[in-house]
């Protein structure tokens, strides 16, 4: 089998494992934000298992999707399965939003939306001053682009040409109480980002081949890069895929098992595709 195919199978298998772990976490905790984590699962898988290097930093600005981050850190073996079991429990450090200075390789607390890109801008500037080539990857949602602070950070990154910052927008078109289009329309988003002097790519955020192309493209960029990752909120949650309810609702009755079955089935299809 070609090396690339083995690589894609490995990424799909990592993504499945990450999703299964956080779905169990949500199921046990009877917690919401399942849709937010499903939307970002391939983004974090690709960043942590393909794109990021040891000294790169990661900021999950959409901190309410903490479970996908914790699960990815466990997949890296930077958190133990025992840590994972404490999600949402009293005295845990795996709270509903990522805490500061408690998680390996995660420098900041996040979850108050709209702040992550400013933190990334600060790291980008510090690295420039230290003449370091290490990067910072920041994942924002689309809804949080309604916050003015995001655009201030974007101006700063572009003005200082902080090419060590890679900004990824998990664009699933849904927020907590409505679609992004209804609440405050961002379109045409790519044009706005380009006008802000970013290099901008729009990709299928669930597709590892598209991520590979984005990663290759990044090395040729002359401006800071923003990747619009088109995603589906609640992807593969049998009942609430691409539904607003995937934001706050926990699993009901058999939904957890149904979703697992769907993921396992999809994974078998992906592996078969890369075997052929
Ligand atoms: C400053 C701020 N305002 C409100 C909230 C409450 N809140 C949590 S998630 C969310 C919306 C989620 O939609 P989006 O940001 O698009 O994220 P995703 O769809 O990726 O889950 C809101 C309003 C918050 N965390 N921070």
31-84, pLDDT tens digit by residue? 999 999 999 999 999 999 999 999 999 999 999 999 999 999 999 999 999 999
> Is position 96 within any domain?
no
> Is position 70 within any domain?
no
Q: What is the number of the ligand 1 atom nearest to the C-alpha of 143?
A: 16
Residue 229 near residue 203 (C-beta atoms within 8 A): yes
> Is position 106 within any domain?
no
> Is position 85 within any domain?
no
Q: Which domain holds residue 51?
A: 3-63+114-275
CA of 175 to the centre of ligand 1 (A): 6
Which segments in the chain show pLDDT lower than 50?
Answer: none
- Ligand 1 neighbours by CB, cut-off 6 Å: 36, 39, 62, 64, 111-114, 141-144, 170, 172, 174-176, 233, 247
Q: Is 141 helix (H, G, I), strand (E, B) or coil?
A: strand
> Is position 88 within any domain?
no
Pocket residue to mutate for ligand 1, from 36, 61, 64, 182, most atoms within 8 A of Cβ: 64
The rounded distance, in Å, linking the Cα atoms of 226 and 163 is 10
pLDDT value of position 276:
78
The rounded distance, in Å, linking the Cα atoms of 201 and 194 is 10
> Is position 55 within any domain?
yes
CATH of the domain at 239: 3.40.50.970
Q: What is the number of the ligand 1 atom nearest to the C-alpha of 180?
A: 16
Domains contained in the chain, number:
1
> Is position 87 within any domain?
no
> Is position 108 within any domain?
no
CA of 177 to the centre of ligand 1 (A): 9
The whole-model pTM stands at 0.98
pLDDT value of position 1:
76
Enter the tokens of residue 184. Answer: 């405050």
Pocket residue to mutate for ligand 1, from 42, 62, 149, most atoms within 8 A of Cβ: 62
Residue 74 near residue 81 (C-beta atoms within 8 A): yes
């Amino acid at each position: 089998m070609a090396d690339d195919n083995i690589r894609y199978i490995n990424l799909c298998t990592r993504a499945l494992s990450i999703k299964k772990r956080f779905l169990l976490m949500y199921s046990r905790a009877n917690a919401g934000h399942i849709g937010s984590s499903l939307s970002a699962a391939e983004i974090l898988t690709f960043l942590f298992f393909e794109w990021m290097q040891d000294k790169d930093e990661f900021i999950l600005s959409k901190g309410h999707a903490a479970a996908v981050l914790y699960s990815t850190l466990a997949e890296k073996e930077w958190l133990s399965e025992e840590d994972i079991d404490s999600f949402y429990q009293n005295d845990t450090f795996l709270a509903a939003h990522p805490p500061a200075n408690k998680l390996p390789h995660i420098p900041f607390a996040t979850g108050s939306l709209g702040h992550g890109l400013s933190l990334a801008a600060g790291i980008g500037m510090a690295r420039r001053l230290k003449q370091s080539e290490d990067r910072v990857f920041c994942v924002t949602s689309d809804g949080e682009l309604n916050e003015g602070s995001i655009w201030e950070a974007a101006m700063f990154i572009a003005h200082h040409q902080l090419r060590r910052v890679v900004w990824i927008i998990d664009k699933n078109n849904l927020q907590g109480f409505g679609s992004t289009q209804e609440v405050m329309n961002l379109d045409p988003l790519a044009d706005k980002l380009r006008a802000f002097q970013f290099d901008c790519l729009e990709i299928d955020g669930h597709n590892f081949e598209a991520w590979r192309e984005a990663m290759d493209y990044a090395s040729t960029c002359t401006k800071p890069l923003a990747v619009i990752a088109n995603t589906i909120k609640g992807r593969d949650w049998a009942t609430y895929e691409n539904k607003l309810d995937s934001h706050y609702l926990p699993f009901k009755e058999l939904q957890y098992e149904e979703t697992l079955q769907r993921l396992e089935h999809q994974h078998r299809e992906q592996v078969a595709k890369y075997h052929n």
